[in-house]
A and B are shown apart, each in its own frame.
Chain A
């Protein structure tokens, strides 16, 4: 009985440690998505922890400086609030104007979002499903 109790207590301690570790590690590595408008409104909230922002690349906003391998552009998801993105690194293949994009990084100042990763959504199949198409059409109408 005594031995069994010890086993149970020991097992519980190990289990709790594992769960705590697991929870800590996973919460440290979860990245939340925000909208460009939310980020612009309160940039001071987003200058420490990495976040992801999703939007469309504004036409005419793209400035690619090959010498510095620096890419500047603006994204928006409502056609009103535009977020400046600064990205240092090679320009991704699929990067185009009016392209849906996810940027990951932090606010470096009140105006500039420094992205460490650019993610461009692409389908394995070319079928653009209707739902998504509607959304992009919608974006295209709000962003000139």
Chain B
């Protein structure tokens, strides 16, 4: 019953979106405010309906309604309640519904938020959003309907993939989707302002927070994905240049470029066309990302052709690109920028190089991801592109990025005085060179590590000192300062939130880079231990005590109890586990990690052998926890950036067209 209501809600939403796109178009054309208002109301109604549909699917999961095909394929009655709920987005159909739910919610947010400002662009942007929504709803009522019935009703579900039975699974996909969907808002405003022909910086200012919001959730989503892979896949790493990972990295790269280049447009009124191109690319890549992960194209190019959903996505991307580029072309004359500067050493050029590098990285990832698929599809030649390809190209680009992060804080807009630059950079330069030479002598390292540590120290120093400066009251004469110290301190604390936010996020990226550089020193081995046998790995000695068997929820768990010693002192006991799920023929590996700030000792249990011995895979991952720390710092930085409110042009009652 509830399911029928859910499906009916989806159908009604589809109708509403048809209506909304039509009403908006007519409302704009004939200048009828009532039509536009009715379209806005239909967006709000649609949000409620989608929420109902989502609730009905969740309900079906909770009560184990296996007459719903999607439920029977992704759940089973012995699944803990918690995972039954997260299983809603454990497959493609549910993920699309979640996507649509988030999109509907965002649209309601902007309708409520922008009922006074942005009145001129909003209807145009809403047309774009209604079209995106229509596309998703088409898929949801047709080819990928999460509420489709199956007959005969299976007595039991196939169960949720054990890999997805992990707490990380609650946050990771929704977080990515918040990021993906979030980018459709600045995209809609960009195209909306193109359609409207109003090409000042208004769309950028009004969507600044959306961009930040989306960027933040995309970042966190990827980090959580990395953490999930680290804990769940048992190969000791967090990133493998897997197409699924690359799919989320690509919009992140162009999104990051966009985040920076819009600042240039805001401050210097240039790069207008470039920004349009970036947001169009970013939006298309979020769709491509969903397509790559969800269409089955990765298993085989041939299985892609068999599903309808893959081609549907591809067609949508192509239509989006053609449509937006045509609109962009017709408005090109309006987008020419006036400002020119002859000086090379300025902030906008640093931003420009940043953009080139980020676009280059995105192209690299795109090439490495798509080329093998093309080779198989067009030439029927099966190839794979190896991780070293990505590492070789991304490392130097990453180095440039980190360096720019530091130097750009020392550059001014338009032009920078050479003396000033030298004055500001001589200390960090000196410190960085000194430390790097020290590192080079002490650790006999490769050139990659030398360069990496150099840029990290240099930019880290610049960013930290700038951050510190922003918290100190401006230098005045001592006599003047004495009078108003508390006031000065307080105002220094409250001012410049935008700058502080940027600095803190950059600091987080430095911390992240430190974490990544630990990769150069990771160690890896595997060995077999008999009972009570002890073997050495790095500074650690590992001793095998016993195999412990236990049951938990729907799993049967075999844990190898290991005593860990360091310098003959027992520091901890680790129990890596093999868990057997009733629905899965293969066991799952649950790794055990001894976490410290300098390094992780990471052990996964590969096999329990017939003679009672255990085979272990062991890894030492130095500095890896800096990566997880950086997420927290990014969060703090984003809060600062959010506090900053761009001064928006409040439009008085302005007629449409």
Q: Which residues of A contact B (CB under 8 A)?
A: 22, 25-26, 28-33, 50, 52, 54, 64, 66-67, 69, 89-94, 96, 121-127, 129, 131-132
Contact = CB atoms under 8 A, between A and B. Distances in A.
B528 A67 contact: yes
B382 A33 contact: yes
B73 A29 contact: no
A126 B159 contact: yes
Interface string B541-583: 0000000000000000000000000000000000000100001
Given A93-B586, A125-B73, A26 B389 contact: yes
A33 B300 CA distance: 14
Given A26-B389, A126-B161, A129-B306, A31 B384 contact: yes
Interface residues of B, number: 49
* 6 closest Cβ pairs, A-B complex: A90-B606, A29-B389, A33-B382, A66-B528, A90-B526, A66-B609
A37 B381 CA distance: 17
A26 B302 CA distance: 25
16 contacts: A22-B393, A26-B368, A26-B371, A28-B388, A29-B392, A33-B382, A64-B609, A67-B613, A69-B615, A89-B617, A93-B586, A93-B588, A125-B91, A126-B584, A129-B306, A132-B300
Nearest to A120: B586
Nearest to B163: A124
B607 A66 contact: yes
Given A126-B159, A131-B303, A94 B73 contact: no
A22, A25, A26, A131 interface centre (most CB from chain B within 10 Å): A26
A132 B367 CA distance: 27
B611 interface: yes
Interface string B376-402: 000001111110110011000000000
Contact of B306 (A22, A67, A126, A131): A131
Nearest to B617: A90
A52 B589 CA distance: 25
A33 B73 contact: no
A25 B389 contact: yes
Interface in B51-110: 73-74, 91
B300 A90 contact: no
Contacts of B303: 129, 131-132
Contact of A30 (B234, B383, B584, B609): B383
A31 B393 contact: no
Contacts of B296: 129
B612 to A, nearest CB: 10
Nearest to A29: B389
Given A52-B384, A93-B587, A125-B73, A66 B611 contact: yes
Given A93-B586, A126-B159, A129-B306, A30 B385 contact: yes
Interface string B432-470: 000000000000000000000000000000000000000
Contacts of A22: 364, 393
Interface of B: 73-74, 91, 158-159, 161, 163-164, 234, 296, 299-300, 302-303, 306, 364, 367-368, 371, 381-386, 388-389, 392-393, 526-528, 578, 583-589, 604, 606-607, 609, 611, 613, 615-617
A38 B164 CA distance: 38
Nearest to A91: B607
B528 A131 contact: no
A101 B527 CA distance: 23
Given A25-B393, A31-B384, A90-B616, A121 B299 contact: yes
B615 A29 contact: no
A127 B91 CA distance: 11
A64 B614 CA distance: 13
Contacts of B382: 32-33, 54
A66 B615 contact: yes
A89 B526 contact: yes
Nearest to B609: A66
Nearest to B611: A66
Contact of A93 (B91, B385, B393, B589): B589
A25 B528 CA distance: 38
A14 to B, nearest CB: 11
A28, A30, A89 interface centre (most CB from chain B within 10 Å): A30
A26 B385 contact: yes
Nearest to A22: B393
Contacts of B161: 124-126
A91 B587 CA distance: 12
A26 B367 contact: yes
A135 B384 CA distance: 21
Contacts of A96: 585-586
